[in-house]
Structure 1
Amino acid sequence: MPKYPAIAEQELVRQCKHGDLKHQELLYKQFYGYAMGIGLRYLANRDDALEVVNDAFIKVFNTIKSVDEKLPFKPWLRKVIVNTAIDRRRKNLRNLAEADLDEAAFIATPALAVSKLNANDIVTMMQLLPELNRLVFNLYEVDGYNHEEIGVMLNIAASSSRVYLGRAKERLRKMILQQEEKG
């Protein structure tokens, strides 16, 4: 049994705009799973994802007054979580050595059927990707940003974004092939 009765998304947002702590808790509980799913796509471990989710909800509660109650809340929340994850990664990216990606070759392989994989297999594979590859893959393939936008977000060249995406896809293909050989 839930602690509080289910409340419509618009009502939750409206009450959170008034600073109602009970409704902030309800909003957090209602969207926690969704937020963690996004966080885990961008971060290698659960603790980092949880930290990003909590930071994102703090941002949400601090800026929720700007939300248009007539628009769906989830897309706005997703954007806050993604941006919070990117901010965290951006801090860590400064420490990574950067290869000369502008001259790297892109190697393509034919698309593979992944019908035997389940969601956990895919999440595990994503978490095994190098940090920049995973970040660019998520931004481009999952969240729909283009390479120019990704370049601005991560402070890299758009061509570097393309190379990171290509490398991520190639690594995923290899992991899928290995999985298919096992099964």
Structure 2
Amino acid sequence: METDVRFTHKNLVEECKKGIQGSQYELYSLYVDAMFNVGYRFLGSKEDAEDIIQDSFVDAFRNLEKFKYESSFGAWLKRIVINKSINHLKAKRIAVVPMEAHEFHLTEDESVEVDKVDIQKVKKGIAVLPDGYRQIINLYLIEGYDHVEIGEILGISTSTSKSQYHRAKKKLLEIISEL
């Protein structure tokens, strides 16, 4: 018999809210690996990602009463991890730099078909991108946020998000071509 994952996870969240022993560990076990991957993609450091994940779970469990099932628990937790990762990078003074209007002009001729590029090269390329570029690439390509959402998350304008993405993509393609 196939179990509905949303039902199971909702039950675990409700058990955590009630303080039932072991439920927090079960919920943690279900999400820790995925959340570590999210944190690692942003931070590029295993140790930083581990710290952020622990802080994120502590905050999530402390604020579980605020979770109202407007999204899945995983999506809610992922948003906490992303926000904490971004705040960590900001604390290290790694900023997304706003660009002047004249720098927005990139032609499609400069792009390469990413489908034809080896996925391992893409991963290596993302890993060596400057942190600000890696943030935009992760938020847009990997996490699936649109530029309006990225602007809200990072506290930048939509046009800055778009321009940073295009610059990051251009830099990523340069890096990949050298690998």
TM-score relative to the length of structure 2: 0.78
Partner of 2:35 in structure 1?
35
1:54 — aligned with what?
54
Relative to structure 2, which stretch is displaced further, 11-20 or 64-73?
64-73
Structure 2 counterparts to residues 78-97 of structure 1, below 5 A: 78-93=78-93
Identical amino acids, percent of aligned pairs = 25
| 1:13 Cα offset (Å) | 1.0
Tell me, yes or no, if the aligned pair for 2:121 and 2:176 is still in contact at 8 Å.
no
Change (3 A) 1:74 1:99: closer
Shift of 1:39: 0.8
CA contact (8 A) 1:106 1:167 kept: no
> Partner of 1:117 in structure 2?
118
What's the counterpart of residue 3 of structure 2? Answer: none
Q: 1:13-28 to 2 correspondence within 5 Å?
A: 13-28=13-28
Equivalent residue letter for 1:110: S
Residues 121/12 of structure 1: CA separation in 2 closer, same or farther (3 Å cut): farther
Quick one: distance in 2 between partners of 1:105 and 1:30?
42
How many residues get paired? 170
The whole-number CA distance in structure 2 between the counterparts of 1:107 and 1:176 is 18
TM-score (norm 1): 0.77
Q: Structure 2 vs 1, CA of residues 124 and 20 (structure 1 numbering), >3 Å: closer, same or farther?
A: farther
Instruction: Structure 1: give runs of 5+ residues left out of the alignment.
Output: 1-6
Q: Which residue of 2 aligns with 1:101?
A: 99
Amino acid at match of 1:151: G
How well do the aligned residues superpose, as a CA RMSD in angstroms?
A: 2.7
Amino acid at match of 2:127: Q
Alignment partner, residue 166 of structure 1 = 166
- CA distance in structure 2 between the aligned counterparts of 1:44 and 1:71, rounded to whole angstroms: 27
